[in-house]
Amino acid sequence: MDYNSDLIIIGAGPGGYKAAVHAAKHGLKVTIFEDVNVGGTCLNVGCIPTKTYVHSATFAEAVERQQQVVEQLRGGVETLLSHPNITLVREKGVFIDAHTVSGYTAPNIIVATGSSPKMLPIAGADSPRVVDSTGLLSLRALPKKLCIIGAGVIGMEFASVFQRFGSEVTVIEYLKECLPMVDSDIAKRLRKLLEKRGITFRMKTAVQDLSEIDADIILMATGRKPNTEGLNLKAAGITLAPNGTIPADDNYQIANCNSSNSKLFAIGDVNGKQMLAHAAEMQGIHVVNQILGIEDKIRFEVMPAAIFTEPEAACVGPTEDQLKETGTAFECHKSFYRANGKALAMNETEGMVKLCCEPNEGRILSAHVFGAHAADIVQEVTAYITLNATLRQLRDTVHIHPTLSEVLIEVN
């Protein structure tokens, strides 16, 4: 059939717009649909606004700066999508069939619709004082008492920020420890530090009725759900997995699609594989590379993540407990910020690095860190892991003095 685009993308979040720009620069004609704001959740109501709060001195300053930062970055995305090979359609993309979306046709279609906050169906959840992360960011008055349900990334970041602003913060978590994706030793140390700063944690606690909670605002930070409603996926032969995600294979091609006339892909949160903005970006680039016939060596199993509490926490690779569970032979090396000259000079002595590697200072397997600029430190280790480097090679790499990154070569 005659196609009017080489690629259709539904959703202009990090995965969608990065894929569109990458494809356009390589000569593909792209149509991208977005019915809200370009940039997706991360830019508009997620990572970027949250980090604006993290780096603001007061709540009032955060509220003022948030929209300025978002609008500036959103404008940058709009500029990128003005490429002559890209058509931005400001409406919701809906499947007509496996190669047609809202009147546009293409042999390749990417679903990149992201996710939205998931609210627990419990008593009191319909109260106006119960909000999701978007609702919390839209507050114009600092809550005196803030209760957060969930000690994952979103819950921990907001707990840290609002306690610093002056709120009395309580975090309620069903699991025995916060941040399950982070090494338990690191997570516990971070939680204890935040407790010393005044945050109350109630671990191993199930919430039955939100109306019983003494708080001005209750943040529901209990995960996210994929955005698939209204896409008419059935018309394209797409069947959702039991958890509501769009199943995709290792190359992000939709796995259970019965279409043979076009290639359909799902990237980012909607496929449920790695719910991180940077994961969506790289998945989109990988899909476009496949369409173009370009071989890349992106290692999606090496996926760093960060939690922007104060101090930060970050990780890449399996935890110590996970390595033990799989019977992997490894050795663990630690170092502490209090012995680092730059950390002392910055008055940021609270922090720890844990590196796991194969025996005899062999191939690096993982890094789990908390402390100032933990995300930057883990990013360095991510490069070593991606290249299958050893701990010995890391030690042999010259590090600028004085820098926080010297904690990596100080592990013992």
* CATH code for the domain of 257: 3.50.50.60
pLDDT, position 260: 55
Q: Which of 249, 260, 266 is nearest to 115 (CA)?
A: 266
306: in domain: no
Secondary structure element (H or E) that encloses residue 115, with its range: strand 115-117
- Together in a domain, 154 and 59: no
Same domain, 90 and 146: no
User: Is 257's pLDDT higher than 80?
Assistant: no
Do 81 and 56 lie in one domain? The reply is: yes
327/287 same-domain check: no
Determine, yes or no, domain membership for 322.
yes
| Overall average pLDDT of the 224-230 stretch | 97
**Residue 286 appears among annotated catalytic residues:** no
Residue 239 sits in the same domain as residue 288? yes
Are 254 and 206 members of one domain? no
Each residue's pLDDT tens digit, 287-327: 999 999 999 999 999 999 999 999 999 999 999 999 999 99
Q: In the predicted model, is pLDDT for residue 255 greater than 90?
A: no
Question: Are residues 81 and 146 both part of a single domain?
Answer: no
**203 pLDDT above the threshold of 80:** yes
Range(s) of the domain holding residue 197: 130-222
CA distance 214 to 122: 16
* Rounded distance between C-alpha atoms, residue 1 and residue 21, angstroms: 25
The answer to whether residue 391 sits within a structural domain is: yes
Across the range 160-170, mean pLDDT stands at 97
Looking at the fold, whether 14 and 86 belong to one and the same domain comes out as: yes
Query: Same structural domain for residues 106 and 230?
Result: yes
Residue 340 — pLDDT band, cuts 50, 70, 90? very high
End-of-domain residue from the set 190, 222, 254: 222
In a domain, 124, yes or no: no
Q: Does residue 412 belong to any structural domain of this protein? A: no
Radius of gyration of the chain (CA): 22
Domain match, 18 and 162 both = no
- 300 inside domain: no
Q: Return the CATH number at 334.
A: 3.30.390.30
Please give the C-alpha separations between residue 126 and each of 119, 131, 210, 214, in angstroms, as whole numbers. Answer: 10, 9, 9, 16
Domain check: are 323 and 253 in the same one?
A: no
Tens digits of per-residue pLDDT, 179-192? 999 999 999 999 99
pLDDT at 93: 98
Q: What is the pLDDT of residues 13-62, one digit of tens each?
A: 999 999 999 999 999 999 999 999 999 999 999 899 999 999 999 999 99
Number of domains into which the chain is organized: 3
> Residue 55: CB partners within 8 Å, gap ≥ 6?
none
Q: Which of 83, 99, 286, 401 is catalytic?
A: 401
122 within some domain? no
Domain end call among 222, 251, 282: 222
Query: pTM value?
Result: 0.96
95 lies in the same domain as 146 = no
Q: Is residue 388 part of a domain?
A: yes
Looking at residue 390, what DSSP letter applies?
B
Phi, psi values for residue 217, rounded to 5°: -130, 140
pLDDT, position 259: 56
